[in-house]
């Protein structure tokens, strides 16, 4: 056996994977004990991108639908929670179900008539919808217009008021673990396989009995719900939200994380998101490179899609 | 009653008739073939039968139920499964996952099953896996189970597609040019397999082919079309001698 | 005070001018889509690059010659620069993916868009650039309160001349015929000995050149350009080509003019902060309920 095969078969073994995951999780859980707020916030930001990327991954990576407006999905969650807390003085945890319901309703309204369209048309529809959400948020009084919502009160969790960055570090770490579990459960199920069949060949999937329109809608709604929940948590962590946080660049960043990470491969998507969150931190202070980072991402994106259309995460070997 | 009944089927593409007033029956438990030269409209008939094309007019009925305006996935759920002329596997998935797709049409678990994993879901997953492995064995590609479909040889891709179709436990199997691209030995093996599908598994088989010699050996009934119209129908020997068929299609080699 | 009909007429003129921008950019979308089924996401950025070239070249040369000559030369330079940019994008980022799934092509186009957008952003330090003075923008023909400026007239004339030339080119020349043939059946064109790659390259250059005309017109008309201007126009031009029926040349022109008019009247009625919502809603509604647009033909999927 070649060394490469040996390494990959070793990496594929369930035991090693479980041990590595446990070790990584333990490390992430202990990290706040020996880092300060600054670093915790950077890692928190990475967690935040992971949540977004894992949500979008259901739509793009699992089902192969191109969504250029994922920012609108988490904007909807963030504004729902923000408005309910600020204007109607709701408890944060009570806003979550509402956020989920509004995510479902809005994604069904937009998905139902358009998911039957070809993938490239769908990309533009999602982009257009995201712009509508953003412009609406900028123009309405209830969303705080261009300034957005500010001073959203922090929630409590079993009597602890979640004010410190360390609190949010753990809240988002738990969310990341939950999203990863959800992702794996979907991937290894009849439902998740059906999404993969649609991604690979929609006609053949339909011929095998997959109700492709319905399953695409499921994937789209599920991705929107995960995005909405992420947005709700984002709103109370940041305590302020504004239309600028949900623009096209944000959607593109998350999409790039999913695509470069390997479209549908969970570890790749998580790493891709971490890369996108951390990369600017490292290069922020270097004058020219910092400004040109999206230029490099653009070049990288072209190179990856041409050379390795399945993303950077290694493929299964056989 | 015929398992599949097609009557006065017409399929027009912007004025051009791909299928013109075609009528035929497929009897339960038979192996029936639809043959004709390339471009005779065979695949259009298939696409109408499986709901991928909307017939311009005419009637298609399966066990007495009309298939007109029924979506392809519903038709598959009724027990009609098809293969594609240019093999269409899920390329970046393994052979096992490909064959598991066959079981989709008669299993139920969906989003909540996936997320909550109740006992019913786990049971069903086990059943899907077992069924897929069974048919992978049956077709004889167990050694390729973990391969990505795109890395298979052409013959193995064909075999995977058959296993996938069988895993749906179909009543009627529609094969679109199953022998295309296979070598002589593989074709012989295919004939054997098709007979087995019917004799061992009780599946009615309907084949589209332009290679007339192949289907003559195993079909009970052959329907010949040219320019979308039926020009002959009957047992292979009779069809082979039909002057219209010879003229339109067999001219050279009979 | 404006009378009702004066408002209608004035908005009609404004809408027509706006619509001619959209139409010129939409043509590039539509031609490229027709020929390789790609939504060229970078098209708006190529338009933006054209506007920058026009402005930069004009700033350099305007002191040495009469204004009309300076603008014409700057416009030519913009067309050339955009055409080259379009060619490079096509050659590097799209050609290797012509047989790949369509989504990969779209993603590659997003990559090209990011590259052009950020390159211009870095080059201009994220600042807007302004058109040097010396061009008369306000004189024109007035009828009551309604005014059409000489500039508007010349822009409309230029846009319609470009569209007329394109129509003649597509319908009469051999190259135009080859473009139409590739749109119908690429494989057959290979078999007939048509140099498909060359025709595709040419289509990109032609579309990019038309976008540059629009970009140049924009910078003369509005007097300023910035790196982010391509995004919105790109999407609206795409909307235009969808309204008209993507892949259809007359459809792109019609769709562009129609969207320009709708937007002018929409702004009049709803206020300018909602005008983009109006355009995007229109896009979604049309894609959902009439995806083949006004003049497009339905695609028959071949199995």
Q: Kindly state the percentage of chain B with pLDDT values over 90.
A: 59
Of B88, B121, B164, the CB nearest to A203: B88
Whole-number pLDDT of residue C6: 85
Task: Say how many CB pairs under 8 Å bridge A and C.
Answer: 120
Q: Judge whether residue A219 has pLDDT over 90.
A: yes
φ, ψ (nearest 5 deg) of residue C66? -65, 150
- Residue bearing tokens 């690429």: C186
The band of A190, judged by pLDDT with boundaries at 50, 70 and 90, is: very high
Note the pLDDT tens digit of each residue in C163-197. Answer: 888 889 988 999 988 988 888 888 888 888 888 89
CB < 8 Å to A318, chain B: 94, 146-148, 151
Average pLDDT over every residue of B230-236: 89
Whole-number pLDDT of residue A21: 86
User: Which is more confidently placed, C233 or A221?
Assistant: A221
Average pLDDT over every residue of A246-263: 86
Whole-number pLDDT of residue C301: 56
* ipTM at complex level: 0.92
Query: How many whole angstroms from its chain centre is CA C270?
Result: 25
Whole-number pLDDT of residue B104: 94
Note the pLDDT tens digit of each residue in B189-225. Answer: 999 999 999 999 999 999 998 777 888 888 999 999 8
Which range of A96-100, A286-290, B146-150, C23-27 scores highest in mean pLDDT? It is A96-100
- Residue bearing tokens 């999905």: A73
Show the domains of chain B with their CATH numbers: 1-79+170-254 (3.40.50.300), 88-169 (3.40.50.300)
Whole-number pLDDT of residue B123: 93
CB of C103 within 8 Å of a chain B CB? The answer is no
- For B50, name the nearest residue in chain C, comparing CA atoms only: C303
If contacts are CB pairs under 8 Å, which of residues 282-301 in chain C contact chain B?
A: 300
CB of A287 within 8 Å of a chain C CB? The answer is no
Put simply, the answer to whether C303 touches B13 (Cβ < 8 Å) is no
CB of A217 within 8 Å of a chain C CB? The answer is no
Strands laid side by side in the B221-226 sheet? B80-82, B172-176, B204-209, B31-35, B221-226, B229-234
Q: Kindly state the percentage of chain C with pLDDT values over 90.
A: 29
Of B81, B101, B115, the CB nearest to A185: B115
The band of C134, judged by pLDDT with boundaries at 50, 70 and 90, is: low
Of A66, A125, A300, the CB nearest to C287: A125
Question: In chain A, which residues touch B (CB < 8 A)?
Answer: 182, 185-186, 189-194, 196-197, 200-201, 203-212, 218, 222, 310, 315-316, 318
Interface partners of chain A (CB pairs < 8 Å, 3 or more) are B, C
Q: Kindly state the percentage of chain B with pLDDT values over 70.
A: 98
CB < 8 Å to C242, chain A: 121, 124
Average pLDDT over every residue of A60-77: 92
Q: Judge whether residue C74 has pLDDT over 50.
A: yes
Q: Worst-scoring range by mean pLDDT, A276-280, C122-126, C254-258?
A: A276-280
- For A201, name the nearest residue in chain B, comparing CA atoms only: B90
Whole-number pLDDT of residue B141: 92
- For C298, name the nearest residue in chain B, comparing CA atoms only: B14
3-state secondary structure A16-85: HHHHHHHHHHHHHHHHHHHCCHHHHHHHHHHHHHHHHHHHHHHHHHHCCCCCCCHHHHHHHHHHHHHHHH
Whole-number pLDDT of residue C299: 61
- Residue C147 neighbours by CB distance under 10 Å: 15
CB of A297 within 8 Å of a chain C CB? The answer is yes
Average pLDDT of chain A is 88
Distance in angstroms (rounded) separating the CA atoms of residues A32 and A167:
10
CB < 8 Å to A208, chain B: 76, 81, 101-102, 104-105, 164, 168
Average pLDDT over every residue of C227-236: 88
Note the pLDDT tens digit of each residue in A92-115. Answer: 999 999 999 999 999 999 998 888
Q: Worst-scoring range by mean pLDDT, A193-202, A275-284, A291-300, C43-52?
A: A275-284
Distance in angstroms (rounded) separating the CA atoms of residues A45 and A234:
10
Q: Judge whether residue A7 has pLDDT over 80.
A: no
Backbone angle region of B202, left / alpha / beta, with phi > 0 → left and psi within -120 to 50 → alpha: left
Q: Kindly state the percentage of chain C with pLDDT values over 70.
A: 96
Q: Judge whether residue B234 has pLDDT over 50.
A: yes
Q: Worst-scoring range by mean pLDDT, A215-224, A266-275, B31-40, C40-49?
A: B31-40
Sketch the domain layout of chain A as residue ranges: 40-248
Of A114, A120, A298, the CB nearest to C114: A298
Shortest Cα distance from B229 to chain A (angstroms)? Answer: 26
Put simply, the answer to whether C276 touches A135 (Cβ < 8 Å) is yes
Q: Judge whether residue B254 has pLDDT over 50.
A: no
Q: Judge whether residue B87 has pLDDT over 80.
A: yes
Of B50, B72, B151, the CB nearest to A318: B151
User: Which is more confidently placed, B14 or A247?
Assistant: A247
Put simply, the answer to whether A305 touches C235 (Cβ < 8 Å) is no
Distance in angstroms (rounded) separating the CA atoms of residues C123 and C128:
11
If contacts are CB pairs under 8 Å, which of residues 234-273 in chain C contact chain A?
A: 235, 238-239, 242, 273
CB < 8 Å to C283, chain A: 124-125, 128
- Residue A197 neighbours by CB distance under 10 Å: 28
Put simply, the answer to whether B104 touches A182 (Cβ < 8 Å) is no
């Amino acid at each position: 056996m070649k060394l490469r095969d040996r390494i990959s078969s070793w990496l594929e073994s369930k035991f090693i994977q479980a041990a590595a995951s446990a070790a990584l999780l333990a490390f992430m859980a202990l990290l706040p004990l020996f880092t300060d707020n600054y670093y915790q916030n950077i890692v928190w930001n990475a967690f935040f991108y992971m949540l977004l990327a894992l949500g979008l991954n259901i739509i793009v990576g699992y089902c192969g639908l191109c969504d250029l407006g994922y920012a609108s999905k988490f904007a909807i969650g963030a504004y729902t929670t923000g408005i309910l807390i600020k204007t109607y003085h709701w408890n944060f945890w009570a806003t979550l179900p509402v956020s989920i319901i509004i995510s479902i309703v809005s994604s069904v309204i937009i998905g139902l008539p358009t998911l039957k369209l070809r993938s490239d048309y769908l990309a533009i529809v999602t982009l257009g919808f995201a712009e509508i959400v953003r412009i609406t948020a900028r123009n309405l009084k209830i969303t705080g217009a261009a300034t957005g919502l500010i001073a959203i009160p922090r929630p409590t969790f079993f009597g602890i008021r979640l004010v410190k960055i360390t609190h949010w570090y753990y809240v988002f770490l738990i969310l990341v673990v939950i999203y990863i579990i959800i992702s794996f459960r979907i991937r290894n199920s009849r439902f998740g396989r059906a999404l993969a069949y649609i991604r690979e060949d929609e006609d053949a999937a339909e011929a095998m009995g997959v109700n492709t329109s319905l399953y695409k809608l499921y994937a789209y709604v599920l991705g929107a719900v995960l995005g909405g929940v992420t947005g709700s948590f984002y709103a109370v962590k940041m305590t302020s939200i504004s239309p600028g946080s949900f623009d096209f660049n944000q959607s593109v960043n998350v999409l790039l994380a999913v695509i470069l990470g390997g479209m549908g491969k969970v570890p790749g998507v998580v790493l891709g998101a971490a890369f996108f969150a951390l990369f600017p931190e490292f290069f922020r202070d270097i004058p020219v490179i910092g400004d040109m980072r999206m230029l490099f991402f653009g070049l990288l994106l072209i190179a990856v899609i041409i050379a390795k259309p399945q993303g950077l995460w290694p493929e299964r070997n056989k | 009653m015929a398992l599949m009944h097609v009557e006065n089927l017409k399929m027009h593409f912007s004025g051009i008739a791909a299928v013109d007033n075609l009528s035929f029956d497929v009897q339960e438990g038979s192996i029936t073939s639809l043959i004709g030269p390339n471009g005779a409209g065979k695949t259009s008939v298939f696409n109408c039968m499986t709901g991928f094309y909307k017939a311009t007019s005419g009637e298609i009925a399966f066990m007495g139920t009309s298939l007109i305006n029924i979506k392809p996935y519903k038709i598959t759920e009724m027990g009609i499964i098809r293969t594609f002329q240019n093999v269409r596997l899920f390329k970046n998935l393994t052979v096992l996952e490909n064959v598991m797709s066959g079981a989709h049409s008669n299993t139920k678990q969906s989003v909540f099953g996936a997320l909550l994993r109740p006992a019913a879901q786990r049971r069903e997953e086990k059943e899907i896996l077992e069924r897929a492995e069974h048919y992978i064995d049956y077709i004889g590609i167990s050694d390729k189970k973990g391969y990505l479909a795109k890395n298979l040889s052409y013959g193995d891709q064909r075999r995977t597609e058959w296993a996938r179709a069988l895993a749906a436990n179909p009543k009627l199997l529609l094969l679109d040019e199953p022998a295309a691209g296979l070598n002589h030995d593989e074709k012989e093996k295919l004939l054997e397999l098709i007979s087995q599908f019917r004799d061992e598994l009780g599946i009615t088989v309907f084949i589209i082919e332009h290679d007339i010699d192949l289907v003559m050996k195993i079909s009970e009934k052959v329907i010949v079309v040219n320019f979308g119209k039926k020009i002959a129908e009957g047992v292979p020997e009779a069809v082979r001698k039909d002057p219209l068929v010879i003229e339109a299609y067999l001219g050279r080699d009979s | 005070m404006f009378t009702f009909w004066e408002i209608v007429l004035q908005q009609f003129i404004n809408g027509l001018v706006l619509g001619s921008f959209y139409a010129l950019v939409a043509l590039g979308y539509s031609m490229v889509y027709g020929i390789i089924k790609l939504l060229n996401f970078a098209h708006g950025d190529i338009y933006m690059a054209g506007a920058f070239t026009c402005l930069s070249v004009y700033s350099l040369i305007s002191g040495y010659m009469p204004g009309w000559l300076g603008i014409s030369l700057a416009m030519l330079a913009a067309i050339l620069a955009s055409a080259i940019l379009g060619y490079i994008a096509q050659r590097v980022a799209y050609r290797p993916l012509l047989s790949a799934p369509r989504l990969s092509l779209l993603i590659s186009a997003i990559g090209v868009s990011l590259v052009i957008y950020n390159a211009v952003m870095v080059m201009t330090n994220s600042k807007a650039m302004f058109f040097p003075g010396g061009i008369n923008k306000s004189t024109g023909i007035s009828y009551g309160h309604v005014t059409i400026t000489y500039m508007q007239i010349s822009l409309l004339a230029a846009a319609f001349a470009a569209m007329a030339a394109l129509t003649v080119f597509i319908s009469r020349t051999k190259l135009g015929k080859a473009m139409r043939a590739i749109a119908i059946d690429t494989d057959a064109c290979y078999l007939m000995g048509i140099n498909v790659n060359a025709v595709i390259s040419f289509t990109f250059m032609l579309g990019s050149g038309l976008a540059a005309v629009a970009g140049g017109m924009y910078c003369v008309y509005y007097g300023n350009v910035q790196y982010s201007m391509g995004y919105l126009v790109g999407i609206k031009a795409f909307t235009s080509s969808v309204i008209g029926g993507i892949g259809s040349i007359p459809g792109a022109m019609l769709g562009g003019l129609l969207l320009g008019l709708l937007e002018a009247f929409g702004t009049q009625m709803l206020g300018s902060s909602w005008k983009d919502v109006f355009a995007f809603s229109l896009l979604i509604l049309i894609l959902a309920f009439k995806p083949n647009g006004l003049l497009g033909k339905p695609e028959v999927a071949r199995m």
